[in-house]
Amino acid sequence: MDRQDGKDVAAPGRASEESDAALPMYLQAPVFKGEYEAERKKIEALSRKGTPVEDSGAMCLPQGMPAFWGGPYAFEILQTDKQINISQEWNEQTRRIYIDGRPHPKDYDPSFNGHSIGHWEGRVLVVDTIGIRAETKVAGAHHSDALHIVERIRQSAPDALEVEMTAYDPKAFQQPWVAIYPLRHKPDMELQEYSCEENNRNQVDEHGVTHATIAPK
Amino acid sequence: MSKRNSLFGLAGAWALAGPALAHHSFAMFDSVAEIVLQGTVTEFQWTNPHTWIELDVPNGTGEVVHWSIEGGSTLGLSREGWHRTTLQRGDKITLVAHPLKDGSHGGSLMGVTLANGQHLGASIRPATPAK
């Protein structure tokens, strides 16, 4: 289904072991270890109950990396000699990838999208990202502060980009997590404004349950 | 940086060619049950993160019940042919929704039929229901 139609999929982490294989790679959780696997199972169980924990979307928080490429709406990519900015319509998000040769900062304050530097390997843009805040999710589950993401972004067809992402987290994953995000060019589409705080009538209570606010009669 | 290494020089937008995560959980709605509401629009909130249709629905016994129906975002709906003026106060419409599980008068929009017979989809229904 095309994201661009604005349709959404409710897929909180691994919906079920059976349906997992049918999901695209970016919605399939990594193979976790230790406490991270226990946490993933807890999140999965609560999602099945209909009380997903930490519904950051309903709280209007950015999804951050690596879920940034999950949209859910349109992206815009603008490039200068110094950097590439990627906007995502949902909640006015912007990633900045510095391509001027600078290194990562020594003591970067973690952010939702982390700090990204890129370089070209032929026609492939290779992006290295560190400093991702602990509350972002990898396919719906938690990562550690060691999360390090490498993306290889290439034009796979005249109207298509492919983002091949490898996420390394030796504290949380048994092996690196690989996901491929296919993007399609929408030449006639303009990004629109989207303020998540404009009229958010979906509140998350202390039990993680999302509610809809019904107007009084 | 050379022009040669500008992969992204194509103007316009890009969209993921695959399913997306929902903005929030839809667990509060009954994704199996469907209700049909015929009523009068009291307000159409053309807003984000979601649009809302406020609707007065006669219950058949002389009383009017007010319903609040959550629709897709302005981004999703506008790309399905909706506009901020698609619904106006006083419009008579018929809509289909997944009701709230708790029985209160709210729901998740599945589609609407306008007074002129035009049908519009909702752009909110999850394509893959959460298990």
Q: Tens digit of pLDDT for each residue in A129-183?
A: 999 998 899 988 899 999 999 999 999 998 999 999 999 999 999 999 999 999 9
Which of A112, A75, A95, A73 has the alpha carbon at shortest distance from B78?
Answer: A73
A110: which strand partners? none
Query: Can you tell me the distance from the alpha carbon of A27 to that of A113, in angstroms, rounded to the nearest whole number?
Result: 18
Residues A113 and A93 sit within 8 Å (Cβ to Cβ): yes
User: pLDDT tens digit string along A103-125?
Assistant: 999 999 999 999 999 999 999 99
Q: Are B74 and B46 spatial neighbours (Cβ–Cβ below 8 Å)?
A: yes
Phi/psi at B105 (nearest 5 deg)? -85, 70
Are A6 and B68 an interchain contact pair (Cβ–Cβ within 8 Å)? no
Q: What is the pTM of this model?
A: 0.84
- Bridge partners of residue B114, in order along the sequence: none
What value does the mean pLDDT take over residues A9-37?
Answer: 67
Taking only Cα atoms into account, the Rg of chain B, rounded to an integer number of angstroms, comes to 18
Please tell me the predicted confidence (pLDDT) of residue B124: 53
Classify burial at A119, counting beta carbons within 10 Å of its beta carbon; exposed 0-12, middle 13-18, buried 19 or more.
middle
Q: Report the helix count and the strand count for chain B, using DSSP H and E.
A: 1, 7
Give pLDDT, residue B6: 67
pLDDT (average), residues B104-109: 94
Q: Are the beta carbons of A132 and A112 closer than 8 angstroms?
A: yes
Question: What distance in Å separates the CA atoms of residue A8 and residue B18, rounded to the nearest whole number?
Answer: 10
Q: What is the pLDDT of residues A64-105, one digit of tens each?
A: 999 999 888 999 999 999 999 999 999 999 999 999 999 999
- Those of residues 78-117 in A touching chain B at CB distance below 8 A are 78-79, 81, 84, 89-91, 99
Tokens of B38: 């015929």
The yes-or-no verdict on residue A189 having pLDDT over 50 is: yes
pLDDT digits (tens, 9 = 90+) for A195-210: 999 999 988 887 777 8
B3 at interface of A, judged by CB pairs closer than 8 A: no
The residue with greater pLDDT, B125 or A76, is A76
Q: What is the mean pLDDT of chain A?
A: 85
Residue B127: band (very low, low, confident or very high) from pLDDT cuts 50, 70, 90: very low
Check residue A217 and give its pLDDT: 46
Under the banding of pLDDT at 50, 70 and 90, the label for residue A12 is very low
Taking CB atoms and an 8 Å limit, are B20 and A7 in contact across chains? yes
Nearest to B2 by CA among A120, A96, A127: A120
Residue pLDDT, tens place only, B5-58: 666 667 789 999 887 766 677 888 998 999 999 999 999 999 999 999 999 999
Q: What is the pLDDT of residues B71-104, one digit of tens each?
A: 999 998 998 889 999 999 999 999 999 999 999 9
Q: Most A CBs within 10 Å: which of B3, B5, B24, B31, as the mutation test of the A interface?
A: B24
A183 in Cβ contact with B13 (< 8 Å)? no
* Nearest CA-CA partner of B124 in B110, B105, B106: B110
Tell me which residue of B16, B42, B49, B68 sits closest to B123, measured CA to CA. Answer: B49
Closest residue in B to A181 (Cα–Cα):
B16
- B3 burial via Cβ count (<10 Å: 0-12, 13-18, 19+): exposed
Q: What is the ipTM of this complex?
A: 0.80
Q: Given an 8 Å threshold on Cβ–Cβ distance, is A75 in contact with B13?
A: yes
